[in-house]
Structure 1
């Protein structure tokens, strides 16, 4: 195939953004057909981008239907895109806009000055109710304690792990946002978590056919995922509107109880012409906070359990470190983290190998921008190949769960710059600190009390993920066996019956 060059005049034609060597293209649909065939072969879209990047280079230009996309691979290119303001935009595709009333609202899929202001206000309000403080750790500890008690009540029985952390994660942040905590068996919350997972399972992060050829939703709404997505978001927003209405009916303007109260008071007091949070903006902010934790932290925690139940030696090393630093009776605290190097290595390896945000959250070029030897025109979607970054050639045996890769020979922790699970730059995840704290506390609370076992007769749980907006684990069960019946024997970190 003859090489095409980016034209210096920055025309909006396909030739202007395509990588010099590209997959086969067709009129109108572009690379959709070749991407679909490659997807059928490799099973995951992030694997398609990974394979094509190996073939065509770290800056891969595509046209998928009506959408121009650049897939960026490699540490250096991903860092460059993440650190440059011109790539801080968010796409305005139909898939991203359907969840926010057809507008760029909230803090996940918005950009520009309104995003900056909303993000600043959300962080300010969260901090005013304890986000990032000792009270936040208290919330996490209470949820971990409740989760351990629930597992004690069904100890010895196979438990489906895939939705185990969902309500706990919602409770941790929702106390600040809406002033509520739900019982771990609450059926309404379980249904809410199910709706969130459905919303993330309809398509992958590119937005699929709803972005590439949005007109098809009028012709085949069921096949494009439009029908299901609209149904899911209608239900989620009904839940949020009910919560907000309850706050409006009981609010005390002199004594706000939570973030929603504070937003409502701010909306009452804001004068015309000033930056104003609208009813729709408040709903989308709540949606962003609700969805982000359940999907990213929840899926990572599930993958962590999956790899640990497959790896008895890793469990044994965790037990030993937990027993040495914390003991069997005292609850874990975040202060223990600095003394628990192997536990931290397990967390890093879990974040690396799961890479639940396989291409991150899409960026968009806010203006024509040079990247490497090419020009990315304004409006182009930019995907970051995060799964490839974390499971590529930099890592020896990347498909193996090996926490030791983050430890030196002297037992010190390695902070590898190739690991970027929360992104970087201005678009770095604002919930990173909370997510890391949650994962540490979930891990130490559970492994302090339980031996994770595969149910008798069940195969090893599969490590291959289910594709969606984020990656999730295939359904699997674990038997949580209380560790009170076990003790260590000798130096080797294995267990014998007491």
Structure 2
């Protein structure tokens, strides 16, 4: 009898503790006054398990959570674990968050698996003085090495020549373009950062690119969100978040080896690339207590540049091949314009862009419908702000939903259809609508935007000048995707016939 009574009391205590935790969680995490509305939240996990993480950008554009079918306004809230997230939809609201409130909404410095929170470093996930110093230095240095300048054109065109040799070698037979394109695009940022390119058969470098791709897919998975919400618990549990940490550590090891090679051959009077210039900056600021330049930050910045400088452009080009294979009539029209303006006797130049309005429109439409970074990077309020008529307290995560801008029916005639006409006026001249913001907006706008634009134009026009792309016989283009930190097409085979 005594044993049964003890068992009953233990069960009663457990029920009491569970009920207490649930009630305490609901009271602690209820939406504050004047906070954006949102769907019903579950205890502990909030809305985390009711979101479709494989199509998170679509879920956040039209909220269908927790059994509800309800569309909220341009600014609404979700609770992801123990953290509130304010989702900002539509061009006007996104512009208000990133530009009007840009001084008060910075990049989120969370319990990140990319760079550790106890040592915020790099270019993507830092704020304040560290971010200002590192971004200013990166822009100044990379511009000196040709970022956004005509002097970088030969580097890109030369890399296309290497890439074309690989593709031509398949003689029109089906091949997987994924690694070839990633390697080609990556070599551009490598030439700026490392001072050299990598051959396409370099197994170590191919492995590094594959690891980065896997890391980017895992970076926005539910495992990362669980880690960000429950860091103390998740650090002690196995899972894909541990794999992600190992991936980034392996990539950093690769960068450290490059750094060591630079140190052994470093000559302050002959600065060959970004790493050389950074080593010089470390030397010059040595002993300054407020300096943010050291080896750890160098590795973090190179990782940010390496990943960001590869993934977005290569992913856009892989979407481009799919859309050209899907719409051969558009591909033919692009080729006809290139043949008329450039011909086949010389390579394209950035100066040609003004005379290739249809080609330019196709490139922009690929960026729009490709929707490479659908939810931007997460931001956070640094003070209490007014957004969309609501009061957002300090420290709340803000997600500028670029999908809601790039597919808004009020800004685009046929938002869910591939239509280069979105970027052409009645006279056939190129125009860029204000709602075209694939590189984000405001102070945290993509640092490499000018490089990406140059790469996309020169690579795409060169591919269209040289090849006609199609799917293998009997295969139709599939537009399914992986949603990680970027929205990337699934691996596919392609045929490239020389023209």
In the superposition, the TM-score normalised over structure 2's length comes to: 0.89
Counterpart CA distance in 2 for 1:221 and 1:241 is 27
Counterpart CA distance in 2 for 1:176 and 1:468 is 26
User: Is the 2:36–2:86 Cα contact (8 Å) retained in structure 1?
Assistant: no
Query: 1:132 is matched with which residue?
Result: 148
Which of residues 458, 465, 480 is equivalent to 1:464?
480
Higher mean Cα deviation, 199-208 or 127-136? 199-208
Query: 2:58 is matched with which residue?
Result: 47
**Counterpart mapping for 1:250-329 below 5 A:** 250-270=265-285, 271-329=287-345
Counterpart CA distance in 1 for 2:60 and 2:428 is 36
Question: Cα offset for 1:274?
Answer: 4.7
Higher mean Cα deviation, 418-427 or 146-155? 146-155
User: Is the 2:133–2:292 Cα contact (8 Å) retained in structure 1?
Assistant: no
- Quick check: 1:174 aligned with 2:174? no
Query: 1:449 is matched with which residue?
Result: 466
Which of residues 195, 198, 202 is equivalent to 1:186?
202
Query: 2:6 is matched with which residue?
Result: none
Counterpart CA distance in 2 for 1:232 and 1:212 is 21
Query: 1:408 is matched with which residue?
Result: 425
User: Is the 1:25–1:34 Cα contact (8 Å) retained in structure 2?
Assistant: no
**Counterpart mapping for 1:162-241 below 5 A:** 162-204=178-220, 207-222=224-239, 225-241=240-256
Question: Cα offset for 1:353?
Answer: 0.1
Deviation string 1:113-151 (CA, Å, 9 cap, x unpaired) is 221111001111112222222221111111112112221
User: Is the 1:86–1:367 Cα contact (8 Å) retained in structure 2?
Assistant: no
Counterpart CA distance in 1 for 2:98 and 2:198 is 37
Which of residues 87, 91, 107 is equivalent to 1:90?
107
Question: Cα offset for 1:253?
Answer: 1.7
> Residue 229 and residue 189 in structure 1: after superposition, are their counterparts in 2 closer, same or farther (change >3 A)?
same
Structure 2: gaps (5+ residues): 1-26, 65-69
Question: Cα offset for 1:178?
Answer: 1.2
- Quick check: 1:353 aligned with 2:364? no
- Quick check: 1:418 aligned with 2:435? yes
Deviation string 1:374-425 (CA, Å, 9 cap, x unpaired) is 1111111110111121123232332221112211221011211111011111
Question: Cα offset for 1:20?
Answer: 5.3
Counterpart CA distance in 1 for 2:114 and 2:188 is 27
User: Is the 1:369–1:376 Cα contact (8 Å) retained in structure 2?
Assistant: yes
Counterpart CA distance in 2 for 1:164 and 1:101 is 34
In the superposition, the TM-score normalised over structure 1's length comes to: 0.89
> Residue 366 and residue 279 in structure 1: after superposition, are their counterparts in 2 closer, same or farther (change >3 A)?
same
Question: Cα offset for 1:259?
Answer: 1.2
**Counterpart mapping for 1:472-483 below 5 A:** 472-483=488-499
> Residue 233 and residue 20 in structure 1: after superposition, are their counterparts in 2 closer, same or farther (change >3 A)?
closer
Which of residues 238, 241, 247 is equivalent to 2:262?
247
Query: 1:31 is matched with which residue?
Result: 47
Counterpart CA distance in 1 for 2:296 and 2:303 is 10
Counterpart CA distance in 2 for 1:461 and 1:103 is 44
Which of residues 60, 64, 76 is equivalent to 2:80?
64
Question: Cα offset for 1:166?
Answer: 1.1
Larger Rg: 2
Secondary structure of 1:466 counterpart: strand
User: Is the 1:358–1:385 Cα contact (8 Å) retained in structure 2?
Assistant: yes
User: Is the 2:113–2:219 Cα contact (8 Å) retained in structure 1?
Assistant: no
User: Is the 1:370–1:376 Cα contact (8 Å) retained in structure 2?
Assistant: yes
User: Is the 1:167–1:184 Cα contact (8 Å) retained in structure 2?
Assistant: yes
Secondary structure of 1:176 counterpart: helix
Counterpart CA distance in 1 for 2:415 and 2:215 is 29
Query: 1:432 is matched with which residue?
Result: 449
Query: 1:105 is matched with which residue?
Result: 121
User: Is the 1:205–1:468 Cα contact (8 Å) retained in structure 2?
Assistant: yes
Counterpart CA distance in 1 for 2:231 and 2:87 is 21
> Residue 213 and residue 273 in structure 1: after superposition, are their counterparts in 2 closer, same or farther (change >3 A)?
closer
Question: Cα offset for 1:31?
Answer: 1.7
Counterpart CA distance in 1 for 2:389 and 2:105 is 20
- Quick check: 1:144 aligned with 2:155? no
User: Is the 1:256–1:262 Cα contact (8 Å) retained in structure 2?
Assistant: yes
User: Is the 1:97–1:103 Cα contact (8 Å) retained in structure 2?
Assistant: no
Counterpart CA distance in 1 for 2:33 and 2:314 is 37
> Residue 115 and residue 302 in structure 1: after superposition, are their counterparts in 2 closer, same or farther (change >3 A)?
same
Query: 2:20 is matched with which residue?
Result: none
Structure 1: gaps (5+ residues): 1-10, 484-498
Counterpart CA distance in 2 for 1:461 and 1:100 is 40
Counterpart CA distance in 2 for 1:20 and 1:305 is 41
Question: Cα offset for 1:97?
Answer: 5.2
> Residue 18 and residue 12 in structure 1: after superposition, are their counterparts in 2 closer, same or farther (change >3 A)?
farther
Counterpart CA distance in 2 for 1:107 and 1:19 is 31
